[in-house]
Amino acid sequence: MRRFNGVRATALAAAVLAACLTAAPAARAHDRQSPPGIGNCTATACHFEVPPGDYDVTVRLGGTAASATSIGGETRRSLLPETSVAAGRQVTRGFTVNVRTPEGEPTGPDGTPGLDLTVGGPAPALAGIRVTPASRHTRQLFLVGDSTVCDQPADPYSGWGQQLPQYLRRGVAVANYADSGESTVTYLQNPQLWGTVQPLIRPGDLVLIQLAHNDKTTDEATYRANLETLVAGVREKGGRPVLVTPIVRRWFNADGTLNNDIALLVNGLGVNHPEVIRSVAAAEDVPLIDLTAKTKALVESLGVEGSKALYLYDEKKDNTHTSAYGATVYAGLVRDGLLAQHLVPRGTVRAG
């Protein structure tokens, strides 16, 4: 996939989207074909024929009645959280979305060409929409990870990377290249994964790396070396690597604490993945988001019953993969980590 910031792709997208504000009656009087804006939407969805790249989306929400609208897109990504607007009022909100092929997991189906958005919420009211090619100053935020991070294709599954975009305003695009079942070994070996991601990294781009759940047979030396390879590969392109320890598995001891091996990602060879990640981050001077520590504290505070909602225990007896609710909560922890370490400008982050 060619990066969108090439001159040819930018010119094409600009031409396609030159007049993409809401279709006003006056505009329709001069052109029978509606420009790509609100005319490209139904009550519940919008579609824009655009090439791969990053796009700024500005929506106007509200109507005569009180409304509550959320926006999703592509493969079940959450792009704008539920936004309430009083009757007779309108508000404007913006976000940046990454359009790519495949649009979800890198080893999955291509998906639908162009940009697809969904309009949801208990009382949706989309009054206007504008889609334009993102500024060249847009920050890319790449995600390298496994099934707990990826854009999951079907309910009830959801990765935290799928929910992260809703916490970011216009100016930061999440390019989620996490893929189900991947370890550090397979991610580096597969040309659809690291071989695709690394060439896309631009100077200043953030690359969040969370790989551990599937390194069940990876020895410590190999695991450490693979993390170092990923870090070096990001820096080679001028990007900024961020190491993320894995989310915990919901596996309790009798005393209400999490199991030290299964829950806290120690594999059969005795490799303590979170500890190795922390060690590499310190040795390589890489920012660390300790998601293991954060999710451990949260899951233990909620207890055996309260923590079920974060995972797919009720639906699938699954204590590893998160529900949409759990993925949203965990994405909020990632957002907090990005802010705490000043990795993204505060003005580009939503409070949630």
pLDDT tens for each residue of 303-317: 999 999 999 999 999
Is the residue at 54 inside a domain? Answer: yes
pLDDT in tens, 118-142: 999 999 999 999 999 998 889 999 9
At which of 87, 103, 134 does a domain end? 134
| DSSP strand pairing (115-123 vs 67-73) | antiparallel
Q: Are residues 246 and 326 in the same domain?
A: yes
Place of tokens 């690359």: 207
**Please, which residues have CB within 8 angstroms of residue 183's CB and are 6 or more apart in sequence?**
146, 211, 214, 215, 216, 218
Q: Are residues 241 and 330 in the same domain?
A: yes
Q: Are residues 141 and 228 in the same domain?
A: yes
Q: Are residues 142 and 120 in the same domain?
A: no
At which of 134, 157, 179 does a domain end? 134
Q: Are residues 86 and 159 in the same domain?
A: no
pLDDT in tens, 96-111: 999 999 999 999 999 9
Nearest to 233 by CA among 197, 191, 183: 197
- DSSP-H helix ranges across 35-171: 160-163
Q: Are residues 317 and 278 in the same domain?
A: yes
The total number of residues written for the chain in this structure: 352
Give pLDDT, residue 212: 98
Q: Are residues 130 and 159 in the same domain?
A: no
Report the distance separating Cα 35 and Cα 214, nearest Å. Answer: 47
Give pLDDT, residue 37: 87
Is the residue at 28 inside a domain? Answer: no
Q: Are residues 144 and 125 in the same domain?
A: no
pTM recorded for the entire structure: 0.89
Q: Are residues 66 and 97 in the same domain?
A: yes
- Crossing angle, helix 291-306 and helix 324-340, to 10 degrees? 150
Q: Are residues 146 and 295 in the same domain?
A: yes
Give pLDDT, residue 352: 65
Give pLDDT, residue 351: 81
List, for the chain, all residue ranges whose pLDDT scores fall below the cut of 70: 1-36, 352
Report the distance separating Cα 212 and Cα 145, nearest Å. Answer: 8
* Domain range enclosing 78: 1-21+36-134
Q: Which CATH number do you get for residue 82?
A: 2.60.120.260
* Terminal Cα distance for the chain, rounded: 32
- CB distance 250 to 299 below 8 Å: yes
| CA distances for 296 relative to 159, 215, 248, 263, 300, angstroms | 17, 20, 6, 9, 6
